[in-house]
Chain A
């Protein structure tokens, strides 16, 4: 007899009801299935009204995040066989407004991301014919870990500070600010710091640390946030002290 597995999916269909509801799906199971395979199977074979996001199927695009048995994870990187409970519960990422089923509204993060200016800021841009900006492997190592972020927002779902107050800039946006502030080619450190030490910036973080536990790319946003608190303080000091 073929093996089967039960998925309990939290659904929200605004055209039907204002309230979310849970729906159970019983589908064939194989050892090599990830949660995303199960969702795709449901969508293809059982119930085409189920909405979920995905693209790369390999932990790169960052679009398949969901609460899986209560923990935010990438659906494409979570094997069903890793999950211990009999029924696999799949819910939309915590803390975000739900548009439909597992699809959440990411607009808030997109705005915050732009606020930290996640690009190289140069006072004067070197003309292309003058060649690239060189970096040593040591200089790359300073920001390499944070540059792995795939904007999956799993860290935001794990962050109770963001859950309580969505004004908080949040783990990934601050980790990306750190990534650019640590880049030897960048000259926008103070600009970013003035945003980071401002309202809902690094000081709102109370170091729960769960963002770094759940991050599928080992970005360690929690560590990056704490490491920004010292340069942040210096930045405040600099702006307070009258210029000599």
Chain B
């Protein structure tokens, strides 16, 4: 079994591997999305912390309302939606939900999850902006 091997040629993965097919690229975008989401959450946390200090809060608001930051938020939002949808896409394949002895098809699980997500988002919206 342990005979000595002749020289082998080692294949290294090129740094550009993720450009090889659209699925790798989609994966990399999903990974990248977390950076945008992280930055957004950090700013949001800072904003909450500054609530105690009126002046500092106003100064911070000016930054957050600048066109650059609004553009960043829009991109972060797009990434968050992308992350959410693809995450559920993958998760729906992993969850094996049985109903009457049959596995529910992943597409249906995905649909259910997205609908639930939309409802929860709407409730949060009502809570925050309508004060229900």
Contacts and interface: CB of A to CB of B under 8 A. Distances in A.
Interface SS of chain A: loop
B11 A96 contact: yes
A209 interface: yes
Contacts of B8: 14, 97-99, 105
Nearest to B93: A223
Given A94-B13, A160-B13, A163-B13, A18 B94 contact: no
A58 interface: no
Interface residues of A, number: 30
Contacts of A227: 94, 96
Interface residues of B, number: 21
B20 interface: yes
Contact of B23 (A105, A164, A213, A220): A213
Contacts, number: 60
Nearest to A209: B90
Given A99-B5, A99-B6, A223-B94, A92 B11 contact: yes
Given A97-B9, A208-B23, A220-B93, 9 more contacts: A14-B7, A18-B7, A71-B21, A98-B8, A98-B10, A99-B5, A105-B5, A138-B101, A223-B94
Interface of B: 5-11, 13, 17-18, 20-21, 23-24, 27, 31, 90, 93-94, 96, 101
